[in-house]
Amino acid sequence: MMVEGFIADGGKAMPFDDAFRARLRDLLVWRRDVRRFRRDPLPAGSVERLIGLACLAPSVGLSEPWRFVIVDDPVRRAAIRTNFERCNADALAVQNENRAAAYARLKFAGLDEAPAQLAVFADRSTMQGHGLGRHTMPEMIEYSAVTAVHTIWLAARSDGIGVGWVSILEPAAVGTILEVPQDWKFIAYLCLGFAQSEDDSPDLARKGWEKRQPFPVVLRR
């Protein structure tokens, strides 16, 4: 099912105090990439509500290029799962032995457990925004769709809903399975549901896959 979003045009500015800023930081800290889900269904309308909030994300030239496909058809889900299995096997093959073992234990997909699945695309053919900001950086269309993904991730976390981003998929295959227009570029495949457990540190860090970089390393003056 394809869902086209809306954007609310608000009124006067909203004041934000120190308490709000502290809670916002909590939200950012506790936003996690979830891989293990409970099978409980989400409340009716949850995914549509999150898509509506995602449409409040910034976009180049107000192009709003994000396009969402709710994947609830069992046949399509099975085809996505098959593609994941093939891509996952290829990814394992290029890792060294120790890394491959760690990689296999991470259980990257919540495809078997998550009650809701959502594909996100960027419509590169959209005329909305009149091309503003895209002449020198056409990839801004894709970047704009990524901001919608991040927005839906935070909004879901505030509702107690976990999100897992499945990146081990072939974009062309996903587009074919979901029968989307050719001008739509695949951005993300998201699994949504209630997490089996929660933590304020990344699973990849806890499992020893990688460490977070300290702030001075990523800052250059």
Question: Structure pTM?
Answer: 0.85
Q: Which residues pair with 188 in a beta bridge?
A: 120
CATH number of 31-218: 3.40.109.10
pLDDT digits (tens, 9 = 90+) for 56-95: 999 999 999 999 999 999 999 999 999 998 888 887 776 6
- Helix and strand numbers, DSSP H then E, in the chain: 8, 5
Domain ranges of the chain: 31-218
pLDDT digits (tens, 9 = 90+) for 112-127: 999 999 999 999 999 9
User: What is the pLDDT, as a whole number, of residue 98?
Assistant: 67
User: What would you report as the CA-atom Rg of the chain, rounded to the nearest whole angstrom?
Assistant: 18
Tell me what the mean pLDDT of segment 206-211 comes to: 75
pLDDT digits (tens, 9 = 90+) for 14-63: 788 999 999 999 999 888 889 889 999 999 999 999 999 999 999 999 99
**169 φ, ψ (degrees, to nearest 5):** -145, 155
pLDDT-based confidence at 101, cuts 50/70/90? low
pLDDT beyond 50 at 7? no
Exposed/middle/buried for 46, CB within 10 Å: 0-12, 13-18, 19+? Answer: middle
